[in-house]
Structure 1
Amino acid sequence: MTAPRPREAVDLADVERAAAALLAPEVRDFVAGGSGMERTLAANRAALDATHVVPRVLTGIDSTDTSASLVGTAARLPVAVAPMAYQCLLHPEGELAAARAAAARGVPFTVSTLSSRTVEELAETGAALWFQLYWLRDRGLVEELLDRAEDAGCQALVITVDVPVMGRRARDVRNGFALPSSVRAAHLDTGPTSHAHVGRAGSSAVADHTALAFDPTLGWRDLEWLRGRCRLPLVVKGVLDPRDAARCADLGASAVVVSNHGGRQFDGAPPTAVALPRVVEAVGDAVEVLVDSGIRGGSDVVRVLALGARGALLGRPVLWGLAADGQRGVTRVLDLLRLELEQALLLAGCADLADAGRLATYVRSDPS
């Protein structure tokens, strides 16, 4: 199938095909790949496909309201852009282009610790920013990043807790993947001689770099310290066990993100559509529950709302849009998502997102 031009894309799969036709194979693999045998990567999609939402009829509605409040941030959709590293790999403007698109379409943009543009640069786009933190060995740098996030006007802090070490991603290992010298982790001040830029056969330079930078000993005491140190609402990303979600609530988190890192960490972790209802049941109204991993369209957003999520984080589709056509490509992705979400809500008989949260669901016992 010939890849459509991004502005002619009719769904997010079209955008992915357009991006794949433009990218170098090793960069495409870096974005698309998962860890291990990629079982969890595949299971995320299969579990969403196996989740059926029961529409309501005779509701008499002719329009729907997609606006949301996510962790206190106003949004036109129940969606935020997920934290994703090194976006200048996909387009010269990288995170700047994606954040401008998010600002134009009224959704929060999450700045990664491994962003190739600084939080200060991204604040100038006018986007509603959240800042994502990896727990670093350099505690002074952790504190510096917290201060920079607050000073830049970020509206939430997202701590990622499922990466004590980076999962072994076979595609990157086979490719001997390394960052080009033009792309760096702007917040970590890495130059072209850093480990992330030194490619070796049978190794991922990005994994080598994070092994040196990340502290795998992150624990509950650290989370408690972080809650006391940072004034921003705290979002804990990478939660799958309901017991962990409940403890996050007890420690003062404002939200948890049910996430398996898009299938890029523990291969064998449950798909998020399966873990989500259990987490929602465990925390009740104590914290907001968001979800990511595998969201590929508006009907997926309705699925996770019906399963109890407040909203979703959108990952790879944003990167495909960025690769395909920069800011215009990301804007196209968000516009398609909005169109699909509006139609899905109308077809399900929902006047707003609260109605979607009351829809019944059933799940095929064999998602394959």
Structure 2
Amino acid sequence: MSFGNQVQLKVYQNLEENIIPVSFEELEEKAKKVLDAKPFDYVAASAGAEVTVKNNSKSFEKWQIVPRMLCDTSKRDLSIELFGKTLSYPLLCAPIGVQSIVHPEGELASARAAAAMDVPFISSTASTYSLEKTAEAMGDRNRWFQLYWSSDREVAASMVRRAEAAGYSAIVITLDTPMMAWREKDIEHAYLPFLQAEGIGNYLSDPVFCSRLEKSPQEDIRSAIMLWAQIFGNPALTWKDLEFIKMQTSLPILLKGILHPDDAKLAIEHGVDGIIVSNHGGRQVDGAIPAIDALPEVCDVVNGQIPVLMDSGIRRGADIVKALSLGAKAVLVGRPYMYGLALAGEAGVKQVLRNLIADFDLTMALSGKKSVRELDRSLLKRI
């Protein structure tokens, strides 16, 4: 019996309890009720009028699945191969910073849940807990590290080297956040959690960062916060800077935030190992192209030379089926697991992942496909 059928059976027999809402909309609404407005809006809200985040979800509706009948899908294979490792599912936890604002255990709880579900966890630079503590929480499970490239390049290099030493298996460089966007809700609340020392754990534990301070963060946290504010972003970066990071690690390097096919070409020309098509969940450029609309063109340009992953708008199993059919090797899920974390900590994240995988498994089977490798554009019709 495959994953989705097993989950259904356990739920229907009351062997597993639904501790959080199953639908994304109810999940988000309940999280809104339990969280204070500032942290909820920090997670849920996006840039400007929030057109991009709305269109991320709406654009999935343009692609419709055309199921095939009388296909033997009794045994399914959800696994994929990525950078020499077998992943049980084509799903990863997207890098999300400052998770401690919705739950005191923050990234540690999410990482443990991902490990329990055998889903790779991408640890954010902007975590409250250090990348070493997150790695420890995951044991030997697959994990990646996401880099916000600091304007102090030696701090960026130090974090990459620390990640490799701590057993992370890939580096994800986020390109679309050289500075924070105009996020109306955060401006209204005058809320930036980093200024309360939330989400800067990787900096406070970094030897290069600490060497820039006259006193240790324990002695003078305010100076540490101010230094973080000075060096967080790096709008001066160009393609030629990638060589510097490549020199710091032997790990595969993926670029997150690619939306234009010409940038995909440049990524390949500069020797990166993977691309993540993403608009940061609508949090950076209001009015940007939905990620699912950018995906086919990027995949066409890449033409299988390197893996293409995708995030921004993944809410249900059908979304995963559509993204993979359009060429994504795997998808990243973000806000849903944050709401699960807010409502029930580690167990909430675990159940969000369980539900997504089960939904994906059943949707794939009901579409007439028995493995991820069978998913292609012939399954979809654009309206």
Question: How high is the TM-score relative to the length of structure 1?
Answer: 0.90
**Paired residues for 1:84-95 under 5 Å:** 84-95=96-107
Matched, 1:19 2:31: yes
Whether the 8 Å CA contact 1:73–1:108 is kept in 2: the answer is: no
> Residue 333 of structure 1: which of 346, 352, 356 is its match?
352
Q: Name the aligned partner's letter for residue 187 of structure 1.
A: N
Matched with 2:340 is 321
Give the Cα–Cα distance (whole angstroms) in 1 for the partners of residues 334 and 20 of structure 2: 21
Whether the 8 Å CA contact 1:56–1:359 is kept in 2: the answer is: no
Percentage identity across paired residues of the two chains: 37
**Paired residues for 1:1-368 under 5 Å:** 7-125=19-137, 126=139, 127-179=141-193, 181=196, 183-189=198-204, 193=222, 212-357=231-376, 359-364=378-383
> What whole-Å deviation, never above 9, does each CA across 1:232-263 have from its counterpart, x for those lacking one?
00110000011111111122211100000100
SS in 1 for 2:146: strand
> What whole-Å deviation, never above 9, does each CA across 1:32-58 have from its counterpart, x for those lacking one?
111011111111011012211221211
Q: Name the aligned partner's letter for residue 171 of structure 2.
A: L
Q: CA deviation at 1:66?
A: 1.2
Alpha-carbon distance change, 68 to 260 in structure 1, aligned in 2, over 3 angstroms: same
Q: Name the aligned partner's letter for residue 153 of structure 1.
A: G
Alpha-carbon distance change, 95 to 304 in structure 1, aligned in 2, over 3 angstroms: same
Matched with 1:200 is none
Q: Which runs of 5+ in 2 are unaligned?
A: 1-16, 205-216
Q: CA deviation at 1:356?
A: 1.8
Give the Cα–Cα distance (whole angstroms) in 2 for the partners of residues 277 and 115 of structure 1: 32
SS in 1 for 2:374: helix
Q: CA deviation at 1:78?
A: 0.4
Give the Cα–Cα distance (whole angstroms) in 2 for the partners of residues 116 and 8 of structure 1: 24
Whether the 8 Å CA contact 2:114–2:120 is kept in 1: the answer is: yes
SS in 2 for 1:229: coil
SS in 1 for 2:256: strand
Q: Name the aligned partner's letter for residue 360 of structure 1.
A: L
Q: Name the aligned partner's letter for residue 202 of structure 2.
A: H
Stretch deviating more after TM superposition (242-251 or 72-81): 72-81
Q: CA deviation at 1:328?
A: 0.3
SS in 2 for 1:215: coil
Whether the 8 Å CA contact 1:83–1:315 is kept in 2: the answer is: yes
Q: How many residues align?
A: 350
Whether the 8 Å CA contact 2:174–2:257 is kept in 1: the answer is: yes
Q: Name the aligned partner's letter for residue 193 of structure 1.
A: R
Alpha-carbon distance change, 35 to 71 in structure 1, aligned in 2, over 3 angstroms: farther
Give the Cα–Cα distance (whole angstroms) in 1 for the partners of residues 230 and 48 of structure 2: 17
Alpha-carbon distance change, 17 to 128 in structure 1, aligned in 2, over 3 angstroms: same
Q: Which runs of 5+ in 1 are unaligned?
A: 198-207
Whether the 8 Å CA contact 1:157–1:233 is kept in 2: the answer is: yes
Alpha-carbon distance change, 8 to 36 in structure 1, aligned in 2, over 3 angstroms: closer
Q: Name the aligned partner's letter for residue 348 of structure 1.
A: S
Matched with 2:9 is none
Matched with 2:11 is none
Give the Cα–Cα distance (whole angstroms) in 1 for the partners of residues 89 and 353 of structure 2: 9
Give the Cα–Cα distance (whole angstroms) in 2 for the partners of residues 301 and 107 of structure 1: 14
Whether the 8 Å CA contact 2:123–2:144 is kept in 1: the answer is: yes
Alpha-carbon distance change, 280 to 211 in structure 1, aligned in 2, over 3 angstroms: farther
Give the Cα–Cα distance (whole angstroms) in 2 for the partners of residues 196 and 63 of structure 1: 53
Question: How high is the TM-score relative to the length of structure 2?
Answer: 0.87
Alpha-carbon distance change, 113 to 182 in structure 1, aligned in 2, over 3 angstroms: closer
Give the Cα–Cα distance (whole angstroms) in 1 for the partners of residues 75 and 103 of structure 2: 36
Q: Name the aligned partner's letter for residue 28 of structure 1.
A: F
> What whole-Å deviation, never above 9, does each CA across 1:137-181 have from its counterpart, x for those lacking one?
112211211110010010000001111211110010011113284
Q: CA deviation at 1:360?
A: 2.8
Q: Name the aligned partner's letter for residue 221 of structure 1.
A: K
SS in 1 for 2:181: coil
Give the Cα–Cα distance (whole angstroms) in 1 for the partners of residues 254 and 246 of structure 2: 10
> What whole-Å deviation, never above 9, does each CA across 1:116-157 have from its counterpart, x for those lacking one?
111110111223110111111112211211110010010000
Q: Name the aligned partner's letter for residue 100 of structure 1.
A: R
